[in-house]
């Protein structure tokens, strides 16, 4: 991923209907556990997420992001929070990929009520994001942005998760937001070595498909 020069927007990157659905799910999921956003960009959705929760019952919020999406990303997110009346110090920022941040969170026994997965959309990083669902409490919700055929890395991972783990269910899809509920504790790991091999095997195919689509769009624009 090449670094963009500056943030193009401080607003949420979710469409209005996706954001409304996300906030409704977040309010319902607020039951004493942590909230997690994987991939925050300028923190537009993060601000909305925090603001929709009652100040006296706000859960600990964790953000995992390498913060190299554009120049001064972390400072931009902190400024966005301040401008929205939120103390940036109240958010637990982990400047890291989700794969690198996961082992420490798991070792600390963290438990989450709500997870938004909106980081790198290629198949392998999304598979690695899925490891965090192990820390999701039963009844909790994990939302995936960009669930659809344009982002097969996201769609294939979500479909595979619910196909292989009967304790996960896709509750709804609003535009490109998939809401998945964890119904009970998992018997098997959500993401193990076999899942990583699966992702690695399909990665070149999806890479080829992406570049083919880009080339076709360029030819069509001529």
Ligand X SMILES: C[S@@+](CC[C@H](N)C(=O)[O-])C[C@H]1O[C@@H](n2cnc3c(N)ncnc32)[C@H](O)[C@@H]1O
Binding site for ligand X (CB under 6 A): 12-14, 38-41, 44-45, 64-66, 69, 97-98, 118-120, 125
Question: Nearest distance from residue 70's CB to ligand X, in Å?
Answer: 8
Question: Nearest distance from residue 119's CB to ligand X, in Å?
Answer: 3
Nearer to ligand X, 11 or 139 (CB): 11
3-class SS of residue 33: coil
Question: Nearest distance from residue 17's CB to ligand X, in Å?
Answer: 14
| CB of 173 closer than 8 Å to CB of 146 | no
Nearer to ligand X, 104 or 215 (CB): 104
Nearer to ligand X, 40 or 161 (CB): 40
Tokens of 13: 């990157």
Nearer to ligand X, 13 or 159 (CB): 13
Q: Distance of alpha carbon 91 from its chain centroid, rounded?
A: 16
| CB of 146 closer than 8 Å to CB of 154 | yes
Question: Nearest distance from residue 122's CB to ligand X, in Å?
Answer: 9
What lies within 8 Å, CB to CB, of 98 at 6+ separation is 38, 39, 64, 119, 125, 128, 129, 131, 132
């Amino acid at each position: 991923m090449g670094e963009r020069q500056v943030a193009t927007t401080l607003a949420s990157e979710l469409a209005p209907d996706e954001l409304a659905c996300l906030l409704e799910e977040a309010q319902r999921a607020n039951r004493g556990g942590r909230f997690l956003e994987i991939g925050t960009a300028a923190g537009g959705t993060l601000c909305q997420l925090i603001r929709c929760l009652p100040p006296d019952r706000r859960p600990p919020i964790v953000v995992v992001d390498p913060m190299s999406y554009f120049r001064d990303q972390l400072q931009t997110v902190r400024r966005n929070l301040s401008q929205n009346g939120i103390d940036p110090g109240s958010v637990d920022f982990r400047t890291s990929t989700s794969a690198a941040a996961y082992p420490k969170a798991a070792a600390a026994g963290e438990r989450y009520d709500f997870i938004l997965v909106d980081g790198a959309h290629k198949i392998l990083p999304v598979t690695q994001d899925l490891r965090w669902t192990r820390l999701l409490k039963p009844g909790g919700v994990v939302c995936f942005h960009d669930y659809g055929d344009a982002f097969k890395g996201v769609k294939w991972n979500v479909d595979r998760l619910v196909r292989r783990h009967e304790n996960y269910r896709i509750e709804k899809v609003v535009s490109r937001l998939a809401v998945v509920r964890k119904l009970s504790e998992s018997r098997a790991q959500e993401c193990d070595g076999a899942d990583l091999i699966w992702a690695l095997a399909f990665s070149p195919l999806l890479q080829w498909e992406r570049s083919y689509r880009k080339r076709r769009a360029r030819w069509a624009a001529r």
